[in-house]
């Protein structure tokens, strides 16, 4: 059976500097797959290439068996791949509801769009309470919820989350991770880039470790949690 996403020998460069150096991995339907690694490992660059924001210099990206490595970003969204970026990138002067509606900019099914706004507000009740409020008045954690809700508005087959817990309090991080578990339970496939390796690996079916643009370890989340190299490098254990 074909994986939902297949990445084969992907290479991405910024000018003469190669940031991603021939990585290969898969994301299976209905699973959470995690990429962990230090800053500068190439994780965000990988997600930007998958979503069409960067053009690979070599390799293949197959989504549902079809190549998307030369497809424009907006058409990749239409195919069913959504990206919630590092740093959230909400529109602070627009309302929460307007930000959510931007996530459905390719859709024309008004009833379905309204239904998905309500779904986002159910997932993140704070958005429902403040839906007419300017998004810039939200806390960092609330803005992360909005960014995730906006990405879900395209009804993605694959949701990519880039550092969703970055800069959040432990309580807010727990809420975000609990939402990821809830999304997986509802059938959403997730590719997660996350600095909190313990939390990410604990909820992942499959995980990959990136080091300076290369994948150096792979396995199930549970296997990598037990790996001595991972425990020393990412979990702070001796």
Quick: pLDDT tens for 72-100. 999 999 999 999 988 778 999 999 999 99
**Which two tokens mark 68?**
């998307």
- Helix segments in the chain, DSSP class H: 43-50, 73-79, 96-102, 110-123, 125-129, 140-152, 170-185, 197-202, 221-226, 228-234
pLDDT confidence of 172, banded at 50, 70, 90?
Answer: confident
Q: How many CA atoms lie within 13 A of 38 on its CB side?
A: 8
Rounded Cα gap, residues 97 and 99, in angstroms: 5
Question: Which one, of 57, 58, 131, 50, lies nearest residue 84 by Cα?
Answer: 50
- Res. 238: pLDDT tops 70: no
Is 11 in contact with 56 (CB distance < 8 Å)?
A: yes
Q: Which helix (H) or strand (E) holds 62?
A: strand 58-63
Share of the chain above pLDDT 90, in %: 78
Beta bridge partners of 165: none
All domains of the chain in start order, with CATH: 5-234 (3.40.50.300)
Task: Output the pTM of the full model.
Answer: 0.92
């Amino acid at each position: 059976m074909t994986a939902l996403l297949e990445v084969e020998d992907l290479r991405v460069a910024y000018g003469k500097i190669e940031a991603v150096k021939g990585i290969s991995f898969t994301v299976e339907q209905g699973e959470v797959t995690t990429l962990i690694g230090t800053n500068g490992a190439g994780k965000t660059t990988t997600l930007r290439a998958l979503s069409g924001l960067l053009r690979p210099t070599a390799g293949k990206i197959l989504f549902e068996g079809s190549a998307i490595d030369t497809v424009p970003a907006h058409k990749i969204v239409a195919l069913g791949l959504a990206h919630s970026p590092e740093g959230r990138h909400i529109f602070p002067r627009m309302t929460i509801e307007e930000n959510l509606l931007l996530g459905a900019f390719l859709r024309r099914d008004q009833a379905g769009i309204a239904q998905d706004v309500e779904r986002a507000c159910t997932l993140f009740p704070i958005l429902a309470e403040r839906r007419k409020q300017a998004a810039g008045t939200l806390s960092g954690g609330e803005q992360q919820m909005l960014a995730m809700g906006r990405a879900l508005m395209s009804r993605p087959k694959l949701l990519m989350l880039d550092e969703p817990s970055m800069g959040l309090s432990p309580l807010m991080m727990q809420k975000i991770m609990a939402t990821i578990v809830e999304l997986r339970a509802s059938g959403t496939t997730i590719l997660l880039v996350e600095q909190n390796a313990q939390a990410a690996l604990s909820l992942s079916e499959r995980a990959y470790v990136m080091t300076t643009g290369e994948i150096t370890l792979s396995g199930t989340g549970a296997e990598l949690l037990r790996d001595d190299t991972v425990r020393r490098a990412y979990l702070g254990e001796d």
